[in-house]
Amino acid sequence: MDFDLTEEQILLRDTARDFATREIEPKAAELDRSARWPAEIVARLADLGFLGMAVPAELGGAGLDTVSYVLAMEEVSRACASSGVIMSVNNSLFCDPLVKFGTDQQRRDVLAPAASGKELGAFGLTEPASGSDARTMKTVADRQGDGGFVLNGSKNFITCGPEADHVLVFAVTTPDAARPKHTALIVRRGTPGYSVAPHDEKLGIRAAHSCTIFFDNVRVPAEGVLGGEGDGFSIAMATLDGGRIGIAAQAIGIARAAHEKAVAYARDRKAFGGSVADLQAIQFMIADMATELDAARLLTLRAASMKDRGVRHTAESAIAKLYASEMATRVTHKAIQIHGGYGYTTEYGVERHYRDARITEIYEGTSEIQRLVIAGSVLSA
Ligand code: CAA
């Protein structure tokens, strides 16, 4: 088994690290405080090709692989978790399904501008009354004679919703109490009947705006149907198989930021006649944090490399996301503990990492849903 990164992947990681440290990290605390959309960072992510990293170059992307995407996601999220999730939604939840299921026309008109970062995409699965049990969504789309649909309903917690140019909306197209069928529809912002609520006030990732989007008799032409009619749920699930790898990388970036701060603080802070890093109680915490970070990174790189090889990675991406997100909560919790009272204030920024980590256990499937997916795979083997 080869654990080494290629020269290109190392170069990409170092470029991402340098960029994120110089241009994103200094702004992260202010973005968190003000919950301001980081338009200038999104523009720079686009310049660097980070908004369509694994999209083939001939389709408007950077033509890299999922391993490179994971490496860049960790660096960007280490600097600013809000910027990380904006990057991940456009890459994993919007561009990726268009690469896999899009027609030539959809790839040209919708994917290419999103992959180059000229436009942004969002993913509309969750609704006010259906989150984990995604199949019970209420949004409906009625087929028209011309092959298009008329869409009615609403989607909430849509990351990048206020800013997105397109949303990939999943809607019931064949109602059935036991097994409804769903279709994936590409809906353009500004289509009559499409409206957006003010963005949510959140505990963490405060600069990555999310909102509710309403669809009131929104007409989606036949060219807006992604994949086959009735294939929407499988498209959503397959997309989340990739998305969960990105969120695992985001969690690793958040945890790494907290770990680095805890190590620096422990070296610097004096107590009991030396630095607190001399105390075994602190050393054990630092060692556990480093071990868990490493384990999460290996699990995430494994899932990414399986995706690159075209191997089914449903369970492996759920394992990576489950472990990395719960690890991030534990690591950021310990980072606050090592900082003592200073960790509880905003002065050192570790409380931000703690708040940011929490969402990674919730979005793109809660930890409980990851466990269901993993158990399903283990028990059916
Ligand atoms: N790939 C392809 N198809 C898949 C699949 C996969 N990984 N997993 C399931 N499917 C298909 C099945 O084959 C099945 O197809 P048929 O109907 O043709 O037989 C269909 O999908 C239904 O599968 P299940 O019976 O397993 O579905 P279920 O209703 O039991 O639900 C679930 C499974 C895992 C609980 C699913 O509902 C789920 O993942 N829930 C969590 C939803 C989620 O992650 N939401 C996150 C929202 S996005 C977000 O958070 C974005 C953001 O802001 C950053």
User: Which protein residue has the closest C-alpha to ligand 1 atom 47?
Assistant: 364
Give the mean pLDDT of 81-85. Answer: 98
| Per-residue model confidence as pLDDT tens digits over 141-199 | 999 999 999 999 999 999 999 999 999 999 999 999 889 999 999 999 999 999 999 99
> Ligand 1 test: best mutation among 205, 210, 233, most atoms within 8 Å of CB?
233
Of all atoms in ligand 1, which is nearest to the CA of residue 179?
17
| Per-residue model confidence as pLDDT tens digits over 358-372 | 999 999 999 999 999
pLDDT beyond 80 at 1: no
374 C-alpha to center of ligand 1: Å? Answer: 12
User: Which protein residue has the closest C-alpha to ligand 1 atom 13?
Assistant: 234
- What is the token pair recorded at 225? 């149907």
pLDDT at 26: 98
Instruction: Please calculate the CA angle 68-373-210 and round it to the nearest 5 degrees.
Output: 60
pLDDT at 367: 98
Of all atoms in ligand 1, which is nearest to the CA of residue 240?
44
**Half-sphere exposure of residue 26: CA atoms within 13 angstroms, side-chain side:** 4
Give the mean pLDDT of 317-344. Answer: 98
| Per-residue model confidence as pLDDT tens digits over 214-258 | 999 999 999 999 999 999 999 999 999 999 999 999 999 999 999
Q: Which residues approach ligand 1 with their CB closer than 6 A? A: 85, 89, 93, 123, 125-126, 132, 134-135, 157, 159, 233-234, 237-238, 240-241, 314, 363-365, 369, 372-373
CB 91 within 8 A of CB 247: no
316 C-alpha to center of ligand 1: Å? Answer: 15
CB 70 within 8 A of CB 250: no
Of all atoms in ligand 1, which is nearest to the CA of residue 233?
21
Mean pLDDT, the chain, rounded, equals 98
> Ligand 1 test: best mutation among 237, 322, 360, most atoms within 8 Å of CB?
237
Q: Write out the catalytic residue numbers.
A: 364
Q: How far apart are CA 360 and CA 248, in angstroms?
A: 8
259 C-alpha to center of ligand 1: Å? Answer: 33
- Output phi, psi for 274, to 5 deg: -160, -165
Domains parsed from the chain with CATH numbers: 7-115 (1.10.540.10), 121-230 (2.40.110.10), 234-380 (1.20.140.10)
| Per-residue model confidence as pLDDT tens digits over 87-132 | 999 999 999 999 999 999 999 999 999 999 999 999 999 999 999 9
162 C-alpha to center of ligand 1: Å? Answer: 25
182 C-alpha to center of ligand 1: Å? Answer: 11
Of all atoms in ligand 1, which is nearest to the CA of residue 244?
44
User: Which protein residue has the closest C-alpha to ligand 1 atom 20?
Assistant: 234
pLDDT at 374: 98
Q: Which residues contact 61 (CB under 8 A, 6 or more apart)?
A: 49, 52, 53, 54, 55, 95, 99, 115, 116
| Per-residue model confidence as pLDDT tens digits over 251-267 | 999 999 999 999 999 99
User: Which protein residue has the closest C-alpha to ligand 1 atom 21?
Assistant: 234
245 C-alpha to center of ligand 1: Å? Answer: 15
Give the mean pLDDT of 17-33. Answer: 98
pLDDT at 2: 83
pLDDT beyond 90 at 315: yes
Of all atoms in ligand 1, which is nearest to the CA of residue 363?
50
51 C-alpha to center of ligand 1: Å? Answer: 25
